[in-house]
Amino acid sequence: MPTITNTLEIHSLHAKAPGQEILRGVDVSFPRGKIVTLMGPNGSGKSTLAHVLMGQPEFTVTKGQIRWQGKNLLRLKAWERSRLGLFVSFQQPPELPGVNLLEFLATAYKAHHPKANQQKDFDKNLRKALSTLKLPESFLERSVNTGFSGGEKKKAEMLQLLVLQPKLAILDEVDSGLDIDALKLISKTVRSLRSPQRTFIIITHYQRLLQYLKPDIVHVLVNGVIAESGSAALVKKIEKKGYSEYLKVAS
């Protein structure tokens, strides 16, 4: 019987989109209770990894394994992974015309937290989340992501994160296009949810967000493989030298 662990373990992961191999043998782990950053240049495979972790059907895994909580995630459907406590905030979250945000959050919370005092806990989490993000209650009446600005989409994703409180949160370039005030607010949100029981995977190729989050572990993904891993000090190295040395080796 496989060992049950709350560390996300990825072994020799190969994945492709139609006609193109993107992940070429990713070996990496994401320990429970840590903020782990995945960095790399555009096109390196960071977002593909997020999509594969959540089970997006347009990406095909050709080899490898992803294990979490004693299960091979590759055998589970996207909704099953979500029920296990996985959450992904994508760069371009989909629009859901006609589905207001309150209904969406309530349905998701019910599916993830089935217990007797469910409504009371949901209301409490929702009120606190709105206050943290400085959002009016009228925000909940809008259709999910429909007509939202870029900043509003990010806040809607953070609202979901605060309400659902997943065990493993993957934030894919959540800092993209944000001004400094919004960036600080997103960072505050992540820090407020930090827990020994919760893992964050922060995907970015900028350094500014990491100045506020101070990750425990940094991995560099280049051309579909992990090129280097280290502490937060690795961010300063990348800020100074960029990704050129990794690209030379990978080519």
* Residue 158 tokens, joined: 């953070």
Size of the chain in residues = 251
The domain ranges of the chain are 8-250
Residue 225 amino acid letter: V
In sequence order, what are the beta bridge partners of 219? 38, 229
CB 109, CB 118: distance < 8 Å: yes
CATH class of 8-250: alpha beta
Distance in angstroms (rounded) separating the CA atoms of residues 137 and 95: 20
Distance in angstroms (rounded) separating the CA atoms of residues 9 and 31: 8
User: In angstroms, what is the C-alpha Rg of the chain?
Assistant: 18
CB 44, CB 235: distance < 8 Å: no
**What pLDDT is recorded for position 117?**
73
Distance in angstroms (rounded) separating the CA atoms of residues 33 and 86: 14
Distances (CA, A) of 48 to 34, 108, 129, 241: 21, 24, 29, 25
No. of helices (H) and no. of strands (E), the chain = 9, 12
The tens-digit pLDDT sequence of the chain (251 residues) is 444 567 999 999 999 998 899 999 999 999 999 999 999 998 899 999 999 999 999 999 999 999 999 999 999 999 999 999 999 998 788 899 999 999 999 999 988 888 757 888 899 999 999 998 989 999 999 999 999 988 888 889 999 999 999 999 999 988 877 788 888 888 888 888 999 999 999 998 777 788 888 899 999 999 999 999 999 999 888 888 888 888 876 55
Residue 25 amino acid letter: G
CB 231, CB 243: distance < 8 Å: no
Q: Name the helix (H) or strand (E) containing 100.
A: strand 96-100
Question: Which single residue is written with the structure tokens 């972790």?
Answer: 53
**What pLDDT is recorded for position 112?**
87
CB 52, CB 14: distance < 8 Å: no
**What pLDDT is recorded for position 217?**
96
**What pLDDT is recorded for position 1?**
41
CB 166, CB 195: distance < 8 Å: no
Distance in angstroms (rounded) separating the CA atoms of residues 22 and 16: 5
Distance in angstroms (rounded) separating the CA atoms of residues 49 and 57: 13
